[in-house]
């Protein structure tokens, strides 16, 4: 790995705080940020190399608005929610139109306890989608959740770390904002904002929306292994203010690759929660047709 260009380091405005708000030990903030981004990009590139060989089991628990009651003059009525549980075989692939961008592919096994496919059949279908050169099949698997009527479903959260490869870092502005614990770990927290392009996809009324990324990145001290990435997006839609909040927590597999352990996404319309998605990941393994893992 090479060091980040000087102009990027110079553009980072940093604060550095220790435990309890005390000043940190003498340490160059620019050097700390540079080291953190170096490790982040390193882990991103390891993930990108190995993602097409990964397969896992994904469980989605969604709570979303079923019926929206317009507020009356006399008494506003809260929205009615429905609960959904979707279990899928889960993997990653790139499209020919965007070869450097990883997307999530899924093949649903069950919806609300009703079996759709046997796990082996779903794994076979997912494998074909990963290895095929046919983008039509990949697009179908990319939109698998949408086909089951999951309003406010999100995709491409899991591989968010891949958006911070060394080549992509100049597409973001970074700032060191604080230190704080995350679980039993002590972490440095960077804020980031994407300068252009869209990193996440949200399906609304069968329309795919690309979101500009901004949020925070937690990196474990002192080795700067990425632990969590959050994102926040606000926009106008149909005259209303929508806000999307997301958080991805990462863990390391026995193969040495950082993978998502969980994703939490919430979408608000004004101050009202309209969709909450909790994704849990397990059983990460290697596709039988995939290449060997790299480090």
Per-residue pLDDT of the chain (295 residues; tens, 9 = 90+): 333 333 333 333 232 233 333 333 334 458 889 999 999 999 999 999 999 999 999 999 999 887 655 555 555 667 788 899 999 999 999 888 888 889 999 999 999 999 999 999 999 999 998 998 888 888 888 888 877 877 666 778 999 999 999 999 999 999 999 999 988 889 999 999 988 755 555 555 556 666 678 999 999 999 999 999 999 988 887 778 889 899 999 999 988 999 999 999 999 988 889 889 999 999 999 887 555 556 5
CA distance from start to end of the chain: 13
Residue 220 DSSP code? E
Pairing of strands 240-252, 258-269: antiparallel
Pairing of strands 154-155, 172-182: unpaired
Residue 65 makes CB contacts below 8 A (sequence gap 6+) with: 79, 80, 81, 82, 151, 272, 274, 275
Buried b (16+ CB within 10 A) or exposed e, 22-50: eeeeeeebbebbbbbbbbbbbbbbbbbeb
What residues contact residue 283 under an 8 Å CB cut-off, 6+ apart?
56, 57
- Name every residue whose Cβ is closer than 8 Å to that of residue 110 and which is 6 or more positions away in sequence: 85, 86, 87, 116
Cβ atoms of residues 39 and 225 within 8 Å? yes
- Under DSSP, is residue 188 helix (H, G, I), strand (E, B) or coil? strand
Tokens of 25: 């030990």
- Chain-centroid distance of CA 209 in Å reads 15
Give Cα separations from 50 to 212, 261, 288, 291 (angstroms). Answer: 25, 16, 13, 8
pTM score: 0.79
Q: Would you call the peptide bond into 222 cis, given omega within 30 degrees of 0 as the criterion? A: yes
């Amino acid at each position: 790995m090479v060091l980040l260009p000087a102009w990027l380091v110079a553009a980072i405005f940093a604060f550095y705080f220790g435990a309890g708000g005390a000043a940190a030990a003498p340490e160059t903030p620019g050097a700390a940020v540079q080291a953190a981004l170096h490790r982040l990009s390193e882990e991103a590139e390891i993930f990108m190399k190995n993602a097409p060989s990964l397969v896992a089991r994904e469980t989605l628990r969604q709570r979303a608005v079923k019926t929206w009651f317009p507020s009356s003059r006399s008494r506003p009525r809260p929205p009615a929610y429905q609960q959904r549980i979707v279990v899928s075989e889960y993997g990653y692939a790139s499209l020919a139109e965007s070869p450097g961008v990883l997307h999530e592919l899924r093949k649903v096994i069950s919806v609300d306890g009703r079996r759709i496919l046997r796990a082996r059949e779903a794994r076979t279908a997912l494998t074909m989608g990963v290895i095929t050169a046919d983008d039509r099949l990949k697009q179908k698997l990319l939109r698998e959740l949408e086909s089951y009527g999951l309003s406010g479903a999100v995709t491409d959260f899991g591989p968010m770390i891949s958006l911070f490869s060394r080549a992509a870092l100049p597409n973001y502005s970074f700032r060191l904002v604080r230190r704080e614990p995350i679980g039993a770990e002590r972490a440095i927290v960077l804020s980031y904002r994407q300068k252009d392009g869209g990193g996440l996809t949200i399906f609304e009324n069968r329309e795919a929306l690309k979101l500009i990324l901004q949020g925070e990145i937690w990196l474990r001290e002192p080795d700067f292994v990425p632990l969590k990435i959050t994102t926040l997006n606000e926009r106008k839609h149909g005259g209303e203010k929508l806000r999307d909040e997301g958080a991805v927590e990462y863990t390391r597999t026995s193969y040495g690759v950082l993978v998502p352990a969980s994703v939490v996404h919430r979408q608000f319309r004004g101050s009202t929660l309209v969709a909450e998605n909790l994704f849990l990941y397990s059983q990460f393994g290697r596709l039988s047709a995939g290449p060997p893992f790299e480090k």
